[in-house]
Chains A and B, each alone.
Chain A
Amino acid sequence: SQQGEEDPQALSIQEGENATMNCSYKTSINNLQWYRQNSGRGLVHLILIRSNEREKHSGRLRVTLDTSKKSSSLLITASRAADTASYFCATVWGGSNYKLTFGKGTLLTVNP
């Protein structure tokens, strides 16, 4: 399966700290995306990084991609209680531009 695997499964930090989540995948990808899901809600797209990019920033988010290790990391700086959510990586791979394959997610809890 191409499914990505996030690590850790759960992460608990204090407000103001940085949170780092990792994602590993198995085969070559076209791009990798990160999504957030608040409890009981749908997923929201955060950031996309293409296979030829190594790092990307969006506000307090920083994503890195290492295609040689088939891994990505999502860093949230200066976390807030409102960042409490599950975070999923998803890959677009192979010949289909239409399908995303999601990992199982990291549950981030930011304590005030």
Chain B
Amino acid sequence: NAGVTQTPKFQVLKTGQSMTLQCAQDMNHNSMYWYRQDPGMGLRLIYYSASEGTTDKGEVPNGYNVSRLNKREFSLRLESAAPSQTSVYFCASSEVRKTVSYNEQFFGPGTRLTVL
């Protein structure tokens, strides 16, 4: 099992360019997440998908869009990149049941994005 995979590993964009970060998981999890990590800030939730076909905003959704393509894949799109979006982006997945609040999350290796 590969777990959670992310592409690309590194990316440099110019202000105003667009790009899509890809994430896939092979653990048959129902829930997937996108976080950003900035120095000294911990992880902040951008968007999440509780199950296939649903997406919801997290703490910092402005400037981003997401697509839950199928149960395996969850992509994050920056339509018009800004320097403030320079960060490390992590995708995660978990198996969440409404009756059980465990939500142990499995993380991908991250994408380091620089916006000039």
Contacts and interface: CB of A to CB of B under 8 A. Distances in A.
Q: Do A and B bind each other?
A: yes
Interface of A: 3, 30-31, 33, 40-45, 48, 88, 92, 97-105
Interface stretch (B60-68, B74-82, B97-105): B97-105
B107 A43 contact: yes
A3 B104 CA distance: 17
Most chain A C-beta atoms within 10 Å of own C-beta, residue among B97, B105, B108: B105
Interface of B: 4, 31, 35, 40-45, 48, 50, 58, 90, 92, 94, 96-98, 100-110
Given A41-B110, A42-B4, A42-B108, A88 B45 contact: no
Contacts of A104: 40-42
Given A97-B97, A99-B45, A100-B105, A43 B90 contact: yes
B42 A98 contact: no
B103 A97 contact: yes
A52 to B, nearest CB: 12
B96 A98 contact: yes
Nearest to A93: B101
Contacts of B96: 97-98
A41 B43 CA distance: 13
